[in-house]
Amino acid sequence: MKKLLLIVLVLALSPLTGLAQTTDELVNDGKNPANVTTQSMGYYRQSYSPLKQITKSNVQRLVPIWNASLMNDMGELAAPTVYNGVMYVINGKWTFAIDIETGRQIWRTPVELEPGVQRAAITRGAATIYNGKLFRVTIDNHIVALDMKTGKQIWNQKFADLKEGYYATSAPIVANGVVISGMAGGESTTRGFLDGWDPDTGKKLWRRYTIPAPGEPGSDTWPKDSDAWKVGGGPTWRSGSYDPALDLVYWGVGNAEPYDPRPRGALDSLYTSSVLAIRPKTGEIVCYFQYTPNDVYDVDGTDENVLADIQVNGQPRKVMIQANKNGFLYVVDRTNCKLVAAHALVKVNWASQIDQTTGRPVLTDVYKRFLAGEEVEIWPSQAGRRASSGQSELGLADRSDDRPAGTHRRLQALPRRRRSRNLAVSRHQRSADRVQSGDRVDLCEYLEPAAHPEARGAAACAGAWGKHHGCDRSPP
């Protein structure tokens, strides 16, 4: 009997034929497993494949058939996309097109950075493909469109200044014919935003800041007569989800800056640590849900929001699901951003529960003890996190680097030393967070069905909850 050779990669007969992806192909990604045209194999970000050839009984018989160097010593954080037999791969240094049947490199294009850039170049997400073009960002805040057939640059737009603390790591997405990109650098006391781009010309169509200016909706959650909103954080460093039927993009927003809440008036600091539902054509915020108001723990809200259609109390509901780094699993109605359910999925001590009516966390005494200057242990964390606000005016510094690996992290406030943009805030806080399993799991086991019966029978959720990477960056 001949041995069965299982091939991990999907084979196609004619690479480089039919390079113009349509919107329908992006919307229906996952239904045709020969192509993977979006990150997570679909706009819903469920990271689920319908393929059945590889099973528990034969997975041990998989063997490699080729390998290819991606010429990158920083590790690979981005997933490939596949279209008509060609795999498109991005990292911080290169963009590749590879024949998936043979591993032959069809073309490669180097990432060209501005002179003097020293920040380590990494890229998350996936190679974004649409209408014969590949879209990606570079660490020095450029968004670039390449020809999928040749790898040649079609257009290049700079959207922020690295010298001001901005950088870029997350892949853009294409929604309703608009390329939408985010930014990183919230820890550098920047002001977060999303941009919308014309895919053909590179013209910027709109910018949506994640921190409202005075007079805009949500500005009352920032101190009056203060410039705190200008440097309030709220980065958008992970890629979003999209519901084509509702025409809404769901994009997570990072934590507020500085971590010390006093310069922010200990207010909610919208729209940090939230998910925004926006119109892709205009950037209009239709609704939002804030996971952690006044986030002082760097738990943010950037991880992917998995979209699902489930039954709640016998009625169909369109929801988005996030396993937040604050320790709670959230199910939110994606039509209006109202909470459906939220329960702890790991040990949590900073909040006792999420109020099912208001959606706000019910705080324990940890926060008050922290503000009083007491060193407190904070969960969730890799091994617990110890924090102290001290008696200083601004900022928190991670002092855990002098402790053995696996022990508690300690945060300590630092005094004001420079102007607000140059807050002396340590850049060590981006150590790896717990990664949730990518297996499809029963949502009910997290939602405590005995206490929350409407969640029974909920569709399984999937997706790998990304690690939070970063770097040391001393204030200038």
Q: Is the dihedral of CA 337, 338, 341, 346 positive or negative?
A: positive
Nearest CA to 243 out of 308, 297, 197 is that of 308
Residue 367 CA to residue 389 CA, distance in Å, equals 10
Bridge partner list, 5: none
In angstroms, rounded to a whole number, what is the distance separating the alpha carbons of residues 343 and 400?
A: 29
Burial letters 52-76, b for 16+ CB under 10 A, else e: eeeeeeeeeeeeeeeeeebebeeee
- DSSP code at position 93: S
- Ordered DSSP codes for 378-430: ESSSSS-EEEE-TT-SEEEEE-GGGS-TTS-EEEEEE---S-GGG----SGGG
Core vs surface per residue 168-180: b (16+ CB within 10 A) or e: bbbbbbbbbebbb
**Cβ neighbours, 10 Å, residue 308:** 20
User: Of 226, 202, 204, which Cα lies nearest the Cα of 213?
Assistant: 226
Find the DSSP H helices in 159-253. Answer: none
∠43-323-407 over CA atoms, to 5°?
135
Look up tokens 């690979």; give the residue.
76
3-state secondary structure of 146: strand
What does the DSSP assignment read for 432-453? PPPPPP-S-B-THHHH-TTT-G
Distance CA 111, CA 94 (A): 5
Helices (H) and strands (E) in the chain, counts: 3, 28
R_g (Cα) of the chain, nearest Å: 22
Annotation marks residue 298 as catalytic: yes
The DSSP secondary-structure symbol of 63 reads: -
Q: Choose the catalytic residue: 99, 195, 295, 298.
A: 298
List residues with catalytic annotation: 298
